[in-house]
Amino acid sequence: MTYRYYQEVIKGKSPKKAPTYIEEEKKSVWVCDVCGYTYEGDLPEGFICPICGVDETHFQKQ
């Protein structure tokens, strides 16, 4: 296996049947309805958009 094949096809991940396989967590994606900024993960309480400065009430889960 070449490094190029590893990066382009396998993409640095172990196959599901491999003993080193780690299942990826599904991350939540939040999008600001004012400026379109996206945040990955759980939105913290009191979060302020770094682009437009609105609070977490303006973020919609995708």
Q: Give, for all 62 residues of the chain, the pLDDT tens digit.
A: 787 887 777 776 777 788 877 776 677 899 999 999 999 888 999 999 999 999 999 999 98
Taking the C-alpha atoms of residue 30 and residue 42, their distance in angstroms, rounded to an integer, is 8
Q: How many residues does the chain have?
A: 62
**What are the structural domains, with CATH classification, of the chain?**
22-62 (2.20.28.10)
pTM: 0.59
Stated as kind and residue range, the H or E segment containing 39 is strand 38-40
